[in-house]
Amino acid sequence: WAIISTAKPLVIGGHDVGILDKSAAYWKARGNAVWGDAIRGFRGSMVAMGGFGLAAVALELFDVVDDFYAGRPRKLS
């Protein structure tokens, strides 16, 4: 994260290009392997955090539904 947060945009073809504007393969091809590795690791971290977030939402939904049905009064016949 330190590399990505401190990276300054480069001027390529008269346009400012930030580290996250291009792929890891692009930066490696341009000779900036450090930026390429940083983006590849950052992408993996983002995918992992997204998966963790989805799992947390699913478990929370299960808990809410369970609490809902546990709190309903039962019909007496």
- Per-residue pLDDT tens over the stretch 48-62: 899 999 999 999 999
Q: Is residue 16 part of a domain?
A: yes
H helix runs in the chain, sequence order: 2-6, 24-29, 33-71
- pLDDT-derived band at 4 (thresholds 50, 70, 90) equals low
Distance of CA 75 to the CA centre of its chain: 46
Is the pTM of the predicted complex or chain greater than 0.85? no
What is the extent of the structural domain holding 28?
A: 2-71
Residue type, 11: V
Q: Is residue 31 part of a domain?
A: yes
- If one counts the domains in the chain, the total is 1
Question: Does residue 20 lie within any of the structural domains?
Answer: yes
Identify the three-state secondary structure at position 15: strand
Confirm if 39 and 27 have CB atoms less than 8 A apart: yes
Domain membership flag for residue 76: no
Q: For 17-43, how does the pLDDT look when each residue is reduced to its tens digit (9 = 90+)?
A: 666 666 777 777 777 777 777 777 777
Within-domain flag for 77: no
Per the structure block, which two tokens stand in for 69? 């049905």
pLDDT at 1 over 80: no
